[in-house]
Chains A and B, each alone.
Chain A
Amino acid sequence: MIDTLRLTAEEALGLLERREVSARELWDAYRAAIDERDGELHCFLSLVDEPAGEGVPIALKDVIGTKGIETTAGSKILKGYVPLYDSTVARRCKEAGLVTLGKTNTDEFAMGSSTENSAFGPSRNPWDPTRVPGGSGGGSAAAVAGGLAPWALGSDTGGSIKQPAALCGIVGLRPTYGTVSRYGIVAFASSLDQVGPTTKTVRDCALLYRTIAGRDPSDSTTADVPEVELPEREDLRGVRIGVPKQMVEAEGIESGVKDAFERTIQLARELGAEVGECELPLSVEYGLPCYYLVAPAEASSNLARYDGVRYGLRAPEDAYHAMVMRTRDEGFGDEPKRRIMLGTYALSAGYFEAYYGQAQKVRTVIRREHAEAFERFDVLASPTSPTVAFELGAKTQDPLAMYANDLLTIPSCMAGLPGLNVPCGLSEGLPVGLQLIGPQFAENALFAAGHALERALGFDRVPERLR
């Protein structure tokens, strides 16, 4: 009997290698879990009927282009779109023997923090189905937390891997910008988008990151990646951890989140880490407004391609311009429209310097503040999300309240830095996430620190109601 709620991907690989279970048995176990629980959780937008290989299954966020498998990015405008080629990450997964189970739910074009912006309905949190799993990669996170997939890939622009991982009590890595190819990924904001793993353990995360990372001739923004080391050590001796003062004192952090975070920092000290305070005042104060100028501006440009001509939805109209405008109005949901409008405004004549130009300068300030912090520390630590998972519908009417979910995840994204979420406890019976940030290309340091803390914390990642 395979317990998909507990089995890690590393254990699944071991079972296959030792021939203790067959690839078919493994596949069937996850399919049975999907049959049992996906009706409630709605993690998947599409499922693959037959396994295309003999390896460990994986779920892919539906912004990841998969040859022959519908890829919608959670949008009506791409409903029925079937890519003609694999994204580089999908190809690398295939080459490593991983078998795609299906495509997971996402806020439309990865724009959101709850999956409630998906055109195909929200996903639900396995810890409490009346609550959101976070977003945009809530489908991937809920699938892993709910035992519907051993691991999954997500994509992160301002927190879409880290925040859902935090809300679902699992591990998620947003890698350094440029370490994972964006070739074949549905574009949202090209200077920010990164694909990364969503997993049960830090070691699984390192394994999957090793599979997908590396320079890609098809994406000129990729760089050479240091060799990925699987973490072994269970202490933190010699590790300098900085706690950005403004990130723990930020408005809106729930007291239960703060308590769990502080207990974890105390544990880090006991494991031998040198913990100190550091400062990121401008990054925390200006990160969110900076992001909500840069990302929509880039999105307005990237989403200009959806014109009803070459693929995707086309509204029936007798004249070309009317067809394009009707297609876009009918095909995009509210959030992409809001961001296209905001981005178009920020880029328009007379406003460009004051908005987009200024935001790009703020980005430099954020990079500099982080660089300064990393002169004294190896890793920075904060809560990942200011709150635990919230109720469905709680923030859908107020875009600014929804955007505030990403307060703590956004600054490092603006600086192109890697960030790891590790579950660090419960508040009101719901998972709290620890965010670890490193310098560019320091994923190994994040895995090492995350692994040691994960072992010491002993967090039971199986949702209480499913134990």
Chain B
Amino acid sequence: MAITREHVLHVAKLAHLDLTEEEVERFREQLSAILEAVSKVSELDLADVPPTSHPLDLVNVWREDEPRPSLSADEVFANAPDREDEFFKVPPTSEVREP
């Protein structure tokens, strides 16, 4: 099926991708071709077939709920781009308006 520019922008927003103009056009073409190919699955009438979400028939896999050592705070933050005290630091999540 043909994907429009609006489709690409909508999906990119859902996926948190800030695509460049060039990417929007390239992905529009490529995704159209890929979706056309994968849409083949709709040829089959599978109304009565149950879905497979997992290849093994495992149910209720438990382990003992025992306390174990966890990582120290310094280890947890070792790969963080930014931190402040015991927190991951990020840019403001909403606009701050001066009163």
Binding site for B on A (CB under 8 A): 80-82, 84-85, 177-178, 191, 217, 220-221, 223, 282, 285-286, 288-290, 292-293, 300, 304, 307-314, 317-326, 328-329, 332, 337-338, 340-342, 344-346, 348, 354-355, 357-365, 367, 399-400, 403, 414-416, 440
15 contacts between A and B (CB under 8 A): A286-B41, A289-B40, A292-B37, A320-B90, A325-B18, A326-B18, A329-B23, A337-B19, A340-B17, A342-B31, A354-B42, A355-B41, A357-B51, A358-B44, A361-B52
Residue from B17, B44, B52 with most neighbouring chain A CB atoms (10 Å)? B52
- B46 smallest CB distance to A (angstroms): 4
Contact A341 B11 (CB under 8 A): yes
Contact A311 B46 (CB under 8 A): no
Contact B61 A220 (CB under 8 A): yes
Contact A358 B17 (CB under 8 A): no
By a CB distance below 8 angstroms, the chain B residues around A357 are 51
Q: A292-B37, A361-B50, A365-B49 are in contact. Are A178 and B79 (CB under 8 A)?
A: no
Please tell me which one of the listed residues B8, B31, B52 contacts residue A364 in the complex, with CB atoms under 8 A apart: B52
Contact A322 B18 (CB under 8 A): yes
By a CB distance below 8 angstroms, the chain B residues around A344 are 11, 14-15
Please tell me which one of the listed residues A300, A310, A325, A414 contacts residue B79 in the complex, with CB atoms under 8 A apart: A310
Contact B44 A282 (CB under 8 A): yes
**In the bound complex, what is the Cα–Cα distance between A289 and B23 (angstroms)?**
24
Please tell me which one of the listed residues A177, A300, A400 contacts residue B33 in the complex, with CB atoms under 8 A apart: A400
Binding site for A on B (CB under 8 A): 7-8, 11-12, 14-20, 23, 27, 30-31, 33-35, 37-42, 44, 46, 49-56, 58, 61, 63-64, 71, 75-76, 78-82, 88, 90-93, 95
- A287 smallest CB distance to B (angstroms): 10
By a CB distance below 8 angstroms, the chain A residues around B51 are 357, 360-361, 363-364
Residue from B58, B90, B95 with most neighbouring chain A CB atoms (10 Å)? B90
**In the bound complex, what is the Cα–Cα distance between A312 and B54 (angstroms)?**
30
**In the bound complex, what is the Cα–Cα distance between A337 and B26 (angstroms)?**
12
- B56 smallest CB distance to A (angstroms): 5
Q: Per DSSP, are chain B's interface residues mostly helix, strand or loop, or mixed?
A: loop
By a CB distance below 8 angstroms, the chain B residues around A337 are 17, 19, 23, 27
By a CB distance below 8 angstroms, the chain A residues around B56 are 177-178, 221, 223, 416, 440
Contact A358 B42 (CB under 8 A): yes
**In the bound complex, what is the Cα–Cα distance between A416 and B23 (angstroms)?**
35
By a CB distance below 8 angstroms, the chain A residues around B76 are 84
Contact B18 A329 (CB under 8 A): yes
By a CB distance below 8 angstroms, the chain B residues around A354 are 42
By a CB distance below 8 angstroms, the chain B residues around A81 are 79
Please tell me which one of the listed residues B12, B14, B41, B78 contacts residue A82 in the complex, with CB atoms under 8 A apart: B78
Contact A362 B44 (CB under 8 A): yes
Contact B34 A416 (CB under 8 A): no
Contact A338 B82 (CB under 8 A): no
By a CB distance below 8 angstroms, the chain B residues around A292 are 34, 37-38
By a CB distance below 8 angstroms, the chain A residues around B95 are 319
Contact B63 A217 (CB under 8 A): yes
Closest 5 CB pairs of A and B: A416-B55, A360-B51, A311-B79, A325-B18, A314-B81
